[in-house]
Amino acid sequence: MKKFAAVFPGQGSQSVGMFADFMDNEIVKATYAEANEALGYDLQAVTLNGPDTELNKTEVTQPAILTASVAAFRVLMSKSDKPVALAGHSLGEYSALVAAGVIDFKDAVRLVRLRGQAMQEAVPAGVGAMAAILGIDDNAIIETCAKVSTDSEKVWAANFNTPGQVVISGNKSAVDKACAEFTAMGAKRVVPLAVSAPSHCPLMQPAADRLAEALKSIKINDASIPVYVNALAKPLTKASDLVDALVKQLTMPVRWVETVQALKADGVEALVECGPNKVLCGLNRRIDKTLGSANICNEQTLEKALEELA
């Protein structure tokens, strides 16, 4: 079997009806039952039936993606050897920590609900914004964000998703100015994102503070499998280091390109995305086409993933 890393998607991967044809699996059923108990409402029903307006509420979206991702990973583990490494994109890092035994699943479900609420409340609606910039050099994006920022209105590079695709985040007026600059610089595309909070920038410090406080009341273990964290793009196993990285994650960029490159450099041969909608598979192929790639979101994709790893 190939040496593989399990990777987990973040917010934006959700859709009403996701995992509908996986719900007959007993492991998936049991995982959703755990989530329902932890949250006190029927997350499975919201996932399957919506409406969109409910599933897309940040405090619902985050538990929904976490639960789907953990369910997919548990099914994989019933059929496969363990991965040699784990990583998650933004919210997906929580799924990775559950997979590594760092955080109990029920604690994680409640924690990401709080994370979603804290992110929404950290910046009033309409004050923050995010946008994807395609076709501009990373350093040019960093420099332009610094140039258009003022003392009161700031924008930062927030997600380094693939070579040539960076998401910026910050005060809406500064994001708008930066977008105009990137358009003038010849960007292939400038795409404002439909998000309710400007993630992975210093505006999220109030949310990070709330998260740090909440983590004090949760049992945190050392990782049984190394977790490559967003904030550092390197593997950690010690509980205290992982907590520190999780808090920093809210205010620091997601270094996904470097994460995938580090996994490859450390001997990983394939990446298996556990979760809905194959977003990371697309990113991973653009970062390194030589890595095997698979997604698990139903029984058919599970079989394909096992074939890829054989």
Q: Does residue 89 share a domain with residue 72?
A: yes
Catalytic (active-site) positions: 90, 200
- Structural domain boundaries, residue 149: 128-195
Is residue 46 within a helix (H) or strand (E), and if so which, with residue range? helix 43-49
Q: What is the pLDDT of residue 196?
A: 79
Tally of domains in the chain: 2
Q: Does residue 117 share a domain with residue 132?
A: no
Q: What is the pLDDT of residue 101?
A: 98
Q: Does residue 174 share a domain with residue 97?
A: no
- CATH number for 16: 3.40.366.10
Q: What is the pLDDT of residue 85?
A: 98
- CATH number for 166: 3.30.70.250
Q: Is the dihedral of CA 138, 253, 5, 303 positive or negative?
A: negative
Is residue 117 within a helix (H) or strand (E), and if so which, with residue range? helix 105-122
Q: What mean pLDDT is reported for the chain?
A: 96
Q: Choose one of 195, 228, 252: the last residue of a domain.
A: 195
Do residues 287 and 258 make contact, with C-beta atoms less than 8 angstroms apart? no
Q: What is the pLDDT of residue 12?
A: 86
Q: Does residue 148 share a domain with residue 107?
A: no
Strand partners of residue 192? 131
Q: What is the pLDDT of residue 125?
A: 85
Strand partners of residue 299? none
Q: Choose one of 173, 195, 217: the last residue of a domain.
A: 195
Model confidence pLDDT, tens digit, residues 197-250? 899 999 999 999 999 999 999 999 999 999 999 999 999 999 999 999 999 999
Give me Rg for the CA atoms of the chain.
Answer: 18
Q: Does residue 300 share a domain with residue 219?
A: yes
Q: Does residue 215 share a domain with residue 112?
A: yes
Q: How far is CA 288 from CA 10, 143, 282, in A?
A: 20, 26, 10
Where does residue 271 fall: left (phi above 0), alpha (psi -120 to 50 degrees), or beta otherwise? beta
- The edge-to-edge listing of strands for the beta sheet with 292-296 is 234-236, 227-229, 85-88, 4-8, 270-274, 292-296
Length of the chain: 310
Q: Vertex 260, ends 310 and 304: CA angle to 5°?
A: 25
Q: Does residue 232 share a domain with residue 115?
A: yes
Q: Does residue 100 share a domain with residue 171?
A: no
Among candidate residues 298, 251, 266, 297, the one with its CA nearest the CA of residue 87? 266
Cα end-to-end span (Å), the chain? 5
Residue ranges, the chain, pLDDT below 70: none
